[in-house]
Amino acid sequence: MKIAKFSVLLLILFIFPVALAQLKFGFYKESCPDAETIVQNLVRQRFGSDPTITAALTRMHFHDCFVQGCDASLLIDQTTSQSSEKTAGPNGSVRGFELIDEIKTALEAQCPSKVSCSDIVTLATRDSVFLGGGPNYTVPTGRRDGFVSNPEDANRILPPPFISVEGLLSFFGNKGMNVFDAVALLGAHTVGVASCGNFIDRATNFQGTGLPDPSMDPFLAGRLRDTCAVPGGFAALDQSMPVRPVSFDNLFFGQIRERKGILLIDQLIATDPATSGVVFQYAANNELFKRQFAIAMVKMGALDVLTGSAGEIRTNCRAFN
């Protein structure tokens, strides 16, 4: 495990040195030496009672980093005088904030005003992925928290579930991430779920045809119609049988190659020439998927970060100091 973890670290440093130069491995070694252990222990405790926290934190990290960088702007609560990314449409179902609060409280008691909320999200996500069966990887720290949280930014930037493959690759490409990164990060859907509103049209009335999406397995379409006949229905994005929505592995890619993608974009990456080859590679090699996922997560975690004297270290992750 240690050798694999070290190999991933070397790959990351080789392919993405510029952004990582702003961060540092072991940043809190002197200022808060137990920081990563405190995060890890609290995430493990939460995972023991709620394994779906892996999907929740991975989604939170993604939604935070791709909107003005990894600066914990998503954690800010709306007030009468302060807007918040939390209220944006794409963030309506983001959860896990109370765990971040719990971690922050523990860190403030141990090391006041030392560990940023943005680093807490990054570390907690990493730990939850590993607990869920995903890769064990090292992340650099030293991020600082931002001063802006604007719902319009999130509504404008975050991609919808019906985005095209071309749009998806452009979205990631604009952040310096390639097709291997994009497909690997979508692989996090192996532990995710979606509410019926995000996909029921594919099972009932695809693009106004009155018929299911012909690219969807017809038996799956039937099951989804039954699922969504109940108010508040949802489905696991990884349709491995038996359904295992909290097992972080590459089975998701095999499922979408069998026409069992729930979200339209998941199904599209399995058939589009620009991404289908990568899907095939990940479906065939779980270790390759996990290695590339780790690389993509570290790259994502370095997007437009605030370091040095920029930003602040919040004492409460829900409010600017």
Cα–Cα distance, 180 to 241 (Å, whole number): 26
Question: Cis (ω within 30 of 0) for the bond into 242?
Answer: yes
Q: Looking at 46, 59, 61, 63, which residue is catalytic?
A: 63
Burial zone of 8 (CB within 10 Å; 0-12 exposed, 13-18 middle, 19+ buried): buried
190 labelled binding-site residue? yes
Cα–Cα distance, 148 to 301 (Å, whole number): 18
DSSP 160: P
Count of other CB atoms within 10 angstroms of residue 31: 11
Residues β-bridged to residue 235: 194
Cα–Cα distance, 253 to 99 (Å, whole number): 30
Cα–Cα distance, 165 to 34 (Å, whole number): 42
Where would I find the beta strands (DSSP E) of the chain? 193-195, 234-236
Q: Is 61 a catalytic residue?
A: no
249 labelled binding-site residue? yes
161 labelled binding-site residue? no
145 labelled binding-site residue? no
Lookup result for tokens 């729930």: 262
Q: Are 299 and 176 in contact (CB under 8 A)?
A: yes
Catalytic residues: 63
Binding site membership for substrate: which residues? 159
Binding site membership: which residues? 64, 67, 69, 71, 73, 85, 159, 189-190, 249
Binding site membership for Ca(2+): which residues? 64, 67, 69, 71, 73, 85, 190, 249
Binding site membership for heme b: which residues? 189
